[in-house]
């Protein structure tokens, strides 16, 4: 037995590793699939790095002219007349700005233009109306301001469907590529929402303003170029740098994973596979902002801050809805994201997450997982835990180190989660295996003790003493009929005979256990079982009868299989038939035996009667036979027929015995009720020695006897009556049949 246990331990360690490898493979597949929860967890890890080491570079090459609450209070609600915006452009250009980017789209004509004013104003004389209609529109005034400023980049927004409006032809800047075509990897939009044509044409260039947040609503990445209408367009930050650098072509590089970088004005900007750049955020800084009200007022200090800077025009007013969430600020004006992105590119402090990082993270998770898989079955749990913790701490430190020194963004969450999941699962699996080993030990002892008793002894060792208790129980015996003749076909093949009997005893035993019984012992092809001990069952008689019926069903199922088989000697396999005897009564149950060896079993006269009744099943031609107390406790829940009043061998007192042919559904069957009445009438006439009346009842009973399996029983009574007609019993005969065999 010890050898088997050691071999099982070795096999289990291999099984633990196999489970670990399967789980590790599942985790790697999960990362490649990258469902939303995994992505969000990774993004939250990136946010933590940003909070721990935000961008603190004081260099501010970008200024924001802010249409803030103060500007709205001074110049009225938005949208302002385009003439006011034109004045703003002139002020910024006059201050010496290097370039102007407008984070606003002027998609509709200005309704306050002179011509439009003349159309809806009342009380104007015709001369005034005529003079207004020939004045330039406010959009033309703003377009002239664009031309004077020269380096003005206007914005346009990507749109997910075709816009139902007249559009102008919009082309992207000159494009050069290195590697494969980058278009399949880019973010794509069906259409563009652009400015009115006069402004589009007057601007030095056009750029896309769209900034898409990640799945959790936080903006971390900004595309440097996107596709719309089949054309490639740079986003605002990149196009401003391109214009400032002399309007050279946009250069996009690709590798096997997708887009690897975007080049603008001699600066190579690494991106993710979709052409997006991770922004190294700093906290929102008021020093980046100049109020549009101060610029329009000609405030010298405000204008001095704009000289030689890239200037963005945008809004921080909450009512204008250009507010974004970032890893450092839940509320940041969208225009500042563009500003911080330009600063990142200027200072080379943008986050670097090349396309190979996924492979590196998968490799790290694989190595850590393999270490755990190898170590857990071999090393003490504490050593494994400390080693795994040290490795995970190294991963965390390395991730933080590369982020702070090289702005390299690596995902520590996936290797950490993988190691924790694999470690916890293997520990749990080891626990399950340990429980399994305990169950095997219990199973080994259960070869000597009932499994229920083993459990009771495990809970209460004080029961490991000799003795028992007296209680009412239902006892069951089953035996294979004609086993000797069956054995003859297998006499040269004893192993095959053992296999056949096991095929029968296994389902029979399962039926007993499933119906709450305790198997006491096997005696060759015989099963002894009992109910109501060691566990209490008020319906023990009903449970035992259900088991008896189930055993007959299991026997029939096996016989169906045997119809297609042959015995080892070449003859057709013989069907198996069992007899089942039950009896309910008071017995002694407990630990019986000696100080050296004892067993949990049951003793008593009612046990012997159950065994004798099993032996009488063949003599009565029925599969199941049981005593009066069992029938009494079964009540109307079973289809019961009285069989006889019999004195079994070894007992002087007769016992009224019964058979069962089904459960409640059969009891309510009209044909069964007719059969039961006929059988009762037969017994009544038989016990009165009214042979003619008994034969008449037998004849009536035969109409339904075949359906319920009692034809042989009726034949036995017909034979008895024929014998009694020739040699009648004494006048004082009480109808008791005295069995002469077991």
Element housing 371 (H / E): helix 357-375
Full-model pTM: 0.58
The C-alpha atoms of residue 33 and residue 41 are separated, in whole angstroms, by 14
293-296, Cβ contacts within 8 angstroms, sequence gap of 24 or more: 293/68, 293/70, 293/71, 293/73, 293/74, 293/75, 295/65, 295/88, 295/91, 295/92, 295/95, 296/71, 296/74, 296/75, 296/84, 296/87, 296/88, 296/91
Residue 611 CB partners (closer than 8 Å, separation 6+): 477, 528, 581, 742
Q: What is the pLDDT of residue 454?
A: 62
pLDDT > 80? residue 170: no
The C-alpha atoms of residue 633 and residue 628 are separated, in whole angstroms, by 9
pLDDT > 70? residue 466: no
Q: Give the tens place of pLDDT for each residue, 658-672.
A: 999 999 999 999 999
Residue 634 backbone dihedrals phi, psi, to 5 degrees: -70, -30
Beta strands in 557-637 (DSSP E): 578-593, 598-603, 624-626
Q: Give the tens place of pLDDT for each residue, 312-335.
A: 999 988 777 788 999 999 889 999
The C-alpha atoms of residue 547 and residue 531 are separated, in whole angstroms, by 10
Q: What is the pLDDT of residue 89?
A: 94
pLDDT > 60? residue 461: no
Q: Lowest-confidence range among 95-109, 453-467, 601-615?
A: 453-467
pLDDT > 70? residue 38: yes
Provide, for the chain, the percentages of residues in helix, strand and coil under a 3-state DSSP scheme, each rounded to the nearest 5: 50, 20, 30
Distances (CA, A) of 616 to 342, 549, 624, 733, 738: 100, 17, 9, 21, 11
End-to-end CA distance of the chain: 40
pLDDT > 90? residue 129: no
The C-alpha atoms of residue 536 and residue 654 are separated, in whole angstroms, by 29
Place of tokens 């000597």: 448
Q: Provide the residue count of the chain.
A: 742
Element housing 697 (H / E): helix 691-708
The C-alpha atoms of residue 611 and residue 445 are separated, in whole angstroms, by 27
Contact 205, 298 (CB under 8 A): no
The C-alpha atoms of residue 624 and residue 580 are separated, in whole angstroms, by 5
Burial class, 170, CB count within 10 angstroms (exposed 0-12 / middle 13-18 / buried 19+) = middle
Q: What is the pLDDT of residue 427?
A: 76
Q: Give the tens place of pLDDT for each residue, 374-430.
A: 877 777 767 777 877 888 888 899 999 999 888 888 988 888 888 888 888 877 777
Mean pLDDT over residues 145-151, rounded?
Answer: 92
Q: Lowest-confidence range among 129-138, 242-251, 334-343?
A: 129-138
pLDDT > 80? residue 634: yes
Distances (CA, A) of 176 to 134, 184, 226, 233: 45, 15, 15, 13
Burial class, 142, CB count within 10 angstroms (exposed 0-12 / middle 13-18 / buried 19+) = buried
Mean pLDDT over residues 561-580, rounded?
Answer: 86
Contact 19, 433 (CB under 8 A): no
Mean pLDDT over residues 232-241, rounded?
Answer: 92
Q: What is the pLDDT of residue 513?
A: 87
Q: What is the pLDDT of residue 597?
A: 67
Q: Lowest-confidence range among 156-165, 452-461, 466-475?
A: 452-461
Q: What is the pLDDT of residue 119?
A: 63
Q: What is the pLDDT of residue 166?
A: 53
Higher pLDDT, 463 or 526: 526
Residue 339: which pLDDT band, with cuts at 50, 70 and 90? very high
Q: What is the pLDDT of residue 124?
A: 65
Residue 371's nearest CA partner among 421, 425, 419, 430 is 419
Q: What is the pLDDT of residue 317?
A: 85
Burial class, 14, CB count within 10 angstroms (exposed 0-12 / middle 13-18 / buried 19+) = exposed
Q: What is the pLDDT of residue 10?
A: 44
Burial class, 145, CB count within 10 angstroms (exposed 0-12 / middle 13-18 / buried 19+) = buried
The C-alpha atoms of residue 308 and residue 99 are separated, in whole angstroms, by 8
Preceding omega of 534 cis (within 30 degrees of 0): yes
Q: Give the tens place of pLDDT for each residue, 238-256.
A: 999 999 888 889 999 999 8
Cite the DSSP H helix spans in 446-594.
451-459, 483-488, 494-514, 540-562
Residue 283's nearest CA partner among 489, 97, 56, 102 is 56
Distances (CA, A) of 240 to 224, 244, 470: 11, 6, 98
pLDDT > 70? residue 443: no
Mean pLDDT over residues 18-47, rounded?
Answer: 87
């Amino acid at each position: 037995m010890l050898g088997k246990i050691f071999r099982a331990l070795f096999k289990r360690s291999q099984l633990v590793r196999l489970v670990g490898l399967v789980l590790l493979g599942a985790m790697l597949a999960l990362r490649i699939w990258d469902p939303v929860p995994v992505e969000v967890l990774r993004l939250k890890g990136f946010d933590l790095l940003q909070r721990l080491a935000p961008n603190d570079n004081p260099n501010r090459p970008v200024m924001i002219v802010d249409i803030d609450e103060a500007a709205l209070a001074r110049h009225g609600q938005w949208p302002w007349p385009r003439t006011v915006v034109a004045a703003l452009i002139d002020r910024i250009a006059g201050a010496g700005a290097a370039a102007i980017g407008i984070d606003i789209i002027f998609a509709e004509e200005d309704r306050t233009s002179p011509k439009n004013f003349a159309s809806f104003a009342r009380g104007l004389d015709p001369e005034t109306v005529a003079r207004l209609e020939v004045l330039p529109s406010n959009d033309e005034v703003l377009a002239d301001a664009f031309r004077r400023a020269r380096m003005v980049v206007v914005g346009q927004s990507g749109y997910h469907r075709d816009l139902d409006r007249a559009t102008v032809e919009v082309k992207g800047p000159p494009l050069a590529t290195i590697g494969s075509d980058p278009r399949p990897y880019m973010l794509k939009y069906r259409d563009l929402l652009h400015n009115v044509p006069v402004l589009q044409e007057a601007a030095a260039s056009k750029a896309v303003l769209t900034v898409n947040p990640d799945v959790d609503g936080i903006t971390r990445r900004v595309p440097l170029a996107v596709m719309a209408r089949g054309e490639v367009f740079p986003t605002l930050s990149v196009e401003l740098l391109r214009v400032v650098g002399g309007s050279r072509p946009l250069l996009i590089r690709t590798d096997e994973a997708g887009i690897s970088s975007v080049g603008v004005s001699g600066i190579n900007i690494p991106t993710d596979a979709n052409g997006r750049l991770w922004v190294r955020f700093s906290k929102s800084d008021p020093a980046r902002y100049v109020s549009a009200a101060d610029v329009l007022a000609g405030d010298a200090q405000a204008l001095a801050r704009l000289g030689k800077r890239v200037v963005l025009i945008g809004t921080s007013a909450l009512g204008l809805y250009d507010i974004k969430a970032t890893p450092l600020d839940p509320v940041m004006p969208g225009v500042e994201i563009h500003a911080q992105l330009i600063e990142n590119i200027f200072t080379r402090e943008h986050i670097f997450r090349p396309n190979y990082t996924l492979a590196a993270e998968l490799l790290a998770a694989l190595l850590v997982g393999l270490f755990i898989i190898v170590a857990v079955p071999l090393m003490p749990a504490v050593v494994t835990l400390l080693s795994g913790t040290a490795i995970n701490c190294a991963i965390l430190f390395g991730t933080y180190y590369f982020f702070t020194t090289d702005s390299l963004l690596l995902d520590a969450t996936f290797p950490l989660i993988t190691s924790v999941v694999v470690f916890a699962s293997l520990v749990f699996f080891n626990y399950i295996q340990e429980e399994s080993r305990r169950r095997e030990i219990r199973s080994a002892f259960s070869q000597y003790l009932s499994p229920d008793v083993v459990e009771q002894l495990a809970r209460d060792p004080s029961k490991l003493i000799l003795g028992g208790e007296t209680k009412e129980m239902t006892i069951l015996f089953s035996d294979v009929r004609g086993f000797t003749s069956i054995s003859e076909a297998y006499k040269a093949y004893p192993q095959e005979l053992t296999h056949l009997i096991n095929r029968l005893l296994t389902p029979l035993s399962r039926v007993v256990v499933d119906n709450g019984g305790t198997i006491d012992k096997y005696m060759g092809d015989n099963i002894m079982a009992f109910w109501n001990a060691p566990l209490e069952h008020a319906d023990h008689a009903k449970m035992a009868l259900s088991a008896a019926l189930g055993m007959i069903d299991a026997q029939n199922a096996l016989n169906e299989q045997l119809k297609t088989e042959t015995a080892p000697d070449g003859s057709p396999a013989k069907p198996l038939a069992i007899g089942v005897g039950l009896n309910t009564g008071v017995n002694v149950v407990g630990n019986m035996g000696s100080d050296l060896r004892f067993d949990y079993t049951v003793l008593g006269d009612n046990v012997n009667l159950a065994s004798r009744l099993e032996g009488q099943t063949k003599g009565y031609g029925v599969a199941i036979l049981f005593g009066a107390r069992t029938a009494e406790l079964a009540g109307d829940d079973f289809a019961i027929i009285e069989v006889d009043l019999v004195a079994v061998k070894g007992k002087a007192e007769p016992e009224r015995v019964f058979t069962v042919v089904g459960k409640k559904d059969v009891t309510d069957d009209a044909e069964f009720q007719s059969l039961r009445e006929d059988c009762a009438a037969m017994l009544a006439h038989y016990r009165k020695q009214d042979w003619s009346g008994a034969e008449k009842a037998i004849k009536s009973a035969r109409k339904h006897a075949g359906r319920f399996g009692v034809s042989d029983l009726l034949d036995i009574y017909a034979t008895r009556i024929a014998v009694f007609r020739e040699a009648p019993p004494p006048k004082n005969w009480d109808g008791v049949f005295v069995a002469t065999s077991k």
